[in-house]
Amino acid sequence: MRHRLLACGLLAFVAAFGLSVAAPSPAVAQDMELVFNRIASIPVYLNTDIESETVAEIIASSPDGNTLVYTDAASESVGFVDITDPAAPAALSSLDMGGEPTSVAVLGELAYAAVNTSQTFTEPSGTLFVINVADQSVVSEYDLGGQPDSVAISPDGAYVAVVIENERDEDFEDGEPPQLPGGSLVIFDTADESLRNVDLTGIADLFPEDPEPELVDINSQNLAVVTLQENNYIVLVDLPSGEVTGSFSAGTVDLEQIDTAEDGVITLNSSLAGVPREPDAVAWISDSMFATADEGDLFGGSRGFTIFNTDGEVVYDAGNTVEHIAARLGHYPEARSDAKGSEPEGVEFGAYESGDYLFVGLERSSLVLVYRIGEDAAAPEYVQALPAGVGPEGLLAIPSRDLFVVASETDSPGGIRSIVSIYQLQEGPANYPTITAADNEDGTPITWGALSGLAADPMDASTVYTIRDSFYGSSSVYVVDASSQPAVITDEIFLMDSNGVLAAVAPDQVNDDGTVNLDSEGITVRAGGGFWIASEGGGDFGNEDNPVTSLNLLVGVAEDGTIDAVVTLPDDVNARQNRWGYEGVASTGEAGSEVLYVVIQREFQDELAGHVRIGRYDVAADEWGFYYYPLDTAETGWVGLSEITALDDETFLIVERDNQADVTAALKAVYQISVAGVEPLAEGDFPVLEKTLVHDLLPDLASTGGAVIEKIEGFAVLADGTAVIVTDNDGVDDSNGETQFMRIDLMLGE
């Protein structure tokens, strides 16, 4: 069977006529319903400087929705962004607050910012600053008498409520309360600019002398709801009188089909009983009901959200659905399985002209889930998930402009920076996710993340195969239906060393149950059926600080996932190994005469500078030969190879990229090479291949409205000529979890 891509001669066709290999229309049409789509993002260092850490945390807007105001604790400032054109946000300025701003809200022309000025945990202090939004100047300031956290303004503008948390020292005696002084709620009356303090002690069942108030929101009846997170309690305060009119425990939740073990594998087969909700953010969805994001902190965290009524009754609980959505979309944070999972932290309600929406921010998954609130608020309808920056914190609905805004706090210079993302309510389809997963037989989603190589089915244009890298503790091949939009992972083939083939070469990469732990970086369809997988080696030969833990391997896999062949590099090549090894593999020829081509990411030790090996392995003859590929020069960081795809037996497409993300990303490209008439060598001065730029991928990555993603790990050309790429989300570990499975317009030939 001819298994190589474009077996029908597409390459010759496009070369002769100079045609564009374009993505076809999705085979599965989507209803043109209203959805939120990301239209722009802006890194907030633009209000300070690129070298400094920034933290966009809580965000508010001017009444006309044209100016955003956000807190930046890292630079001790409040920042301003112009979104008059929401698709082209512009940094305006930042205002030094002389302390750590914790929250901000806007009333008319004035912003009210709470600033923590505490020198110690035992002597907390803070200030409420009133800021003119138009000229970004301080109008007045008020001593709050403690360390503030959240700020909310009543719909009628009569009251500003400020939560005084007086946070605990988490390093003192295991971080458990009580740690006095206890917190309270401060009411600022805007009419006479006076302050009143509401005592919250003696209310909660747990640590009553030390309330830990976290977030506050106010309904149209001037009733404030306050979460006491560590106390697992909720308090209702009548703002005109300053009286506590209601209080109740947030209660506990029993969870099934979740992952509770940080073991490198996402397995939704565990349970937890009696988990305290410990709510963080809170938002009214009517005058009688409110939603909480049940993040957890001290003892709990129910991995979901809850809708309560003012009597303290639970009218809706998300159960395990939030975790399942994150897992289905590749955003589940396996490294947080033994803690609080996706960690819902933010919640926001918006009454748009087209309907009412509830937004739930998942801090560890870097997602915002969108729910439609209908006539029955006790039955929210899940609509979609929005990708954000790393660690979404501040959620802001701007219904008057059909906008929604997210401030993401985690900042990684050289990677994804702290950003403000802007979404617009528009006709669908949704532009995210670009890949999702079907269900297993038990109803849980197929779990995935850290996708690496891609390989097209040579006969079926709707099917592509992908793999996950060593972030996870077991290896598998995913079967993807690429004809739908988003693409759908429909099956998972687990790799098994049933016959001990891998154990004979690399015993440390075989698990006790026969599954394997490869660093799968490249995949190709094998002549005669099955796959070849390129597994990257770990460590540097001769480096005691980073010793070799595994070799670069080509692993032959049958269609059912059984490993039946393992190929190593020659000993002299292994002796040059460093941490940047195999990244992609391509197969040419027929069964019995198959030849594999494998790309290495960066130069091995003592190699020609700026040149990286491409290996050629003749399967039948068991012979290696090598070429050199000339790398572009890195502007920042380094440049290497990510993927190789065969167009015919002598022509290949190569993905070359730098290791930069977001604003410093400079090279993400597809090049074409040919080995026609070029003989590889087993050693010595390898021939240098010529390369031709085929496609610049940076505009494709920038078109998502988000930060440019660093790792384009997979590339394939489907049987009908459609070119697709996939990015690696690093298992949602210090990453925003975003995976882009994109169809691109690929120009081949002149």
The CATH number of whichever domain residue 722 belongs to comes to 2.115.10
Predicted pLDDT at 31: 46
Answer whether residue 309 is part of any domain.
no
Answer whether residue 666 is part of any domain.
yes
pLDDT digits (tens, 9 = 90+) for 28-44: 333 468 999 999 999 99
Answer whether residue 624 is part of any domain.
yes
Answer whether residue 178 is part of any domain.
no
Residue 175 has pLDDT above 90, yes or no: no
Answer whether residue 205 is part of any domain.
no
Question: Are the C-beta atoms of residues 327 and 737 closer than 8 Å to each other?
Answer: no
pTM score above 0.75 = yes
Answer whether residue 489 is part of any domain.
yes
pLDDT digits (tens, 9 = 90+) for 254-313: 999 999 999 999 999 999 999 999 999 999 999 999 999 999 999 999 999 999 999 999
Structural domains of the chain, count: 1
Which residue type, as a one-letter code, is found at position 397? A
Question: Are the C-beta atoms of residues 57 and 47 closer than 8 Å to each other?
Answer: no
Rounded CA-CA distance 209/213 in Å is: 12
CB atoms closer than 10 angstroms to residue 353: 8
Rounded CA-CA distance 580/45 in Å is: 31
Predicted pLDDT at 749: 54
Work out whether strand 233-238 and strand 270-276 pair parallel, antiparallel, or are unpaired. unpaired
Of 521, 523, 520, 519, the residue nearest 455 (C-alpha): 523
Of 552, 564, 565, 658, the residue nearest 598 (C-alpha): 552
Percent of the chain whose predicted confidence (pLDDT) is above 70: 95
Residue 25 has pLDDT above 80, yes or no: no
- 384 forms beta bridges with 370
Answer whether residue 558 is part of any domain.
yes
Rounded CA-CA distance 736/484 in Å is: 24
- Token reading at 379: 């039955």
Predicted pLDDT at 378: 85
Domain limits for position 505: 450-728
Predicted pLDDT at 414: 73
Answer whether residue 639 is part of any domain.
yes
Rounded CA-CA distance 468/675 in Å is: 29
Q: Work out the mean pLDDT of the chain and round it to a whole number.
A: 94
